[in-house]
């Protein structure tokens, strides 16, 4: 069982729900060390003061804030202790909203909430109330000495909390939008819609895997002498990418390819006979 990251309580009106917080995700990637190629030795870094040149032990390093004009302010532990942070151990519900009202760009990290002791009954109460109302709770919470905006939603038997970025942390993406002068033709939009329809299916994340990580793990295994290196898909097919000139023609080809894949999958499923057991004697 994973270790809880935080303990506190969700304030649901006059009801208090003691909870533990657990990370709902874990990143899986191939990690690397910085090494000396000649002998494989790991590269280590020293913390050196740029003013006096002395190496500074980690325990003696303080936090400094550099102003725009270059002045440096050193902050003591007491400076942080004295900051007003009412949400340090309390998750305060400030509003209930529709899930769709929150821009997905604002989502940051996800956590499971587990009730503690007498918190089980009010936990279930909040979970069922959120389900019935189709709402999510907007909350404020302090994690790692930083106050965050977050939402709590019901997910099956659990309450899940997603921390959100603050509004001033979201960039305006207007600069990335194409010019208003660029238009998509009616036929192009209709053909694109047909392609979307062909690939529309219930979302099943188990269908997808991290091909890059799998291939990289095979390369590492081959280097260790445990397995032969496997060629990439591009090496096997010899395919490359080219410029798409005729959008309608490209989309038509995409639709036909999608139809064939769907028909082949359906035919393969229909050909699998049901297993029969032979009667004895």
CATH of domain 6-28+83-169: 2.40.290.10
Average pLDDT of the chain, as a whole number:
83
* Percentage of the chain modeled with pLDDT above 70: 84
Question: How many residues are present in the chain?
Answer: 281
Q: Summarize pLDDT for 141-197 with one digit per residue, the tens.
A: 888 777 889 999 999 999 999 999 999 999 999 999 999 999 888 988 998 898 888
Element (H, E) at 12: strand 6-12
Q: What pLDDT, on a 0 to 100 scale, did the predictor assign at position 130? A: 95
**Cα distance between residue 145 and residue 143, in whole Å:** 5
pLDDT computed for residue 150 by the predictor: 95
Nearest alpha carbon to residue 123 among 69, 159, 161? 159
pLDDT digits over 203-250, tens only? Answer: 888 888 888 888 888 888 888 886 555 555 445 444 444 454 576 777
Distance CA 118, CA 123 (A): 9
- Diameter of the chain by CA atoms? 95
CATH 2.40.290.10 residue spans of the chain: 6-28+83-169
- Reported pTM: 0.70
Answer yes or no: is pLDDT of 273 > 90. Answer: no
């Amino acid at each position: 069982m994973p270790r809880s990251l935080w303990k506190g309580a969700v304030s649901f009106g006059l009801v208090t729900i003691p909870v533990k917080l657990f990370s709902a995700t874990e990143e899986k990637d191939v990690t690397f060390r910085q090494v000396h190629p000649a002998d494989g030795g790991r590269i280590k870094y020293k913390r050196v003061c740029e003013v006096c040149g002395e190496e500074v032990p980690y325990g003696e390093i303080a936090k400094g804030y550099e102003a725009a004009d270059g002045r440096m302010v050193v902050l003591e532990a007491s400076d942080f202790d004295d900051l007003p942070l009412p949400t340090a151990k309390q998750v305060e519900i400030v509003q209930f909203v529709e899930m769709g009202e929150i821009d997905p760009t604002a989502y940051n990290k996800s956590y499971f909430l587990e009730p503690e002791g007498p918190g089980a009954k009010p936990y279930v109460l909040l979970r069922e109330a959120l389900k019935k109302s189709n709402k999510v709770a907007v909350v404020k919470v302090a994690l790692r000495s930083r106050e965050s905006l977050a939402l709590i939603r019901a997910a099956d038997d659990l309450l899940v909390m997603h921390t959100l970025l603050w509004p001033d942390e979201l960039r305006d993406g207007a600069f990335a939008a194409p010019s208003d002068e660029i238009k998509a033709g009616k036929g192009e939009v209709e053909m694109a819609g047909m392609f979307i329809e062909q690939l529309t299916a219930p979302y099943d994340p188990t269908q997808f895997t991290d091909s890059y990580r799998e291939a990289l793990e095979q390369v590492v295994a081959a280097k260790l002498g445990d397995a032969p290196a496997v060629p990439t898909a591009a090496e096997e097919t010899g395919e490359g990418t080219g410029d798409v000139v005729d959008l309608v023609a490209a989309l038509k080809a995409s639709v036909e390819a999608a139809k064939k894949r769907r028909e082949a999958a359906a035919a393969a499923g229909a050909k699998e006979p049901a297993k029969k057991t032979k009667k004895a004697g």
